[in-house]
């Protein structure tokens, strides 16, 4: 069995154990607790387990459930976009999802700017579309005038205009 295969199986088993509430021995620093206690699963653990199993659409469905539970949490939105990008290799779908999410609700300034900058990153790094990225950065400057987000957007616009924006 290859090293990667073995590691993948261990990760899947550990993630599944957390999702399934497998009892674990009490920690050494918790002597007053019972010998076994149940792990409180992370709400995103099932999505992570599905990613580890290669079930990317299933992971997206789990993150959508998290969005229903806490609609103002940007984490599942970002994770869905990351799955579209990294696992499904579909930057257009990632951008469409981010834009839909941005238009779907009234985000805080920080969350809206984060989602917009993530879209800019995809436009620059994956779609090689500096024109569209610049348009979005201009919207950030206009909508978040006087904030650090506007200053960051202005700096990125200068980089695009100078042709010095870097891709990862």
DSSP assignments along 81-133, one per residue:
HHIIIIIS--HHHHHHHHHHHHHHS---HHHHHHHHHHHHHHHHHTS--HHHH
Q: Reply yes or no on whether the pLDDT at 22 is more than 50.
A: no
Q: What is the pTM of this model?
A: 0.74
Q: Which CATH class is domain 39-162?
A: mainly alpha
The predicted structure's pLDDT at residue 8: 52
50, pLDDT greater than 50: yes
Decide if pLDDT at 26 tops 60: no
Give pLDDT tens digits for 89-136: 999 999 999 999 999 999 999 999 999 999 999 999 999 999 999 999
Instruction: Return the axis-axis angle of helices 130-143 and 109-125, rounded to nearest 10°.
Output: 170
The pLDDT > 90 percentage for the chain reads 70
* Average pLDDT of the residues in 51-68: 96
Residue ranges of the domains in the chain?
39-162
């Amino acid at each position: 069995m290859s090293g990667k295969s073995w590691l993948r199986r261990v990760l899947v088993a550990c993630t599944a154990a957390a999702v399934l509430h497998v009892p674990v021995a009490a920690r050494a620093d918790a002597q007053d607790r019972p010998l076994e206690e149940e792990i409180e699963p992370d709400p995103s653990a099932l999505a992570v387990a599905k990613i580890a199993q290669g079930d990317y659409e299933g992971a997206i469905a789990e993150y959508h459930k998290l969005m229903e539970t806490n609609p103002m949490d940007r984490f599942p939105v970002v994770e869905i976009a990351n799955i579209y990008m990294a696992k499904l290799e579909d930057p257009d779908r990632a951008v469409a999802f981010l834009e839909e999410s941005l238009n779907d609700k009234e985000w805080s300034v920080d969350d809206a700017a984060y989602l917009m900058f993530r879209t800019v990153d995809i436009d620059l790094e994956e779609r090689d579309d500096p024109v569209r990225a610049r348009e979005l950065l201009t919207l950030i400057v206009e909508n978040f005038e006087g904030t650090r987000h506007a200053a960051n957007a202005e700096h990125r616009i200068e980089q695009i205009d100078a042709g010095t924006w870097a891709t990862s």
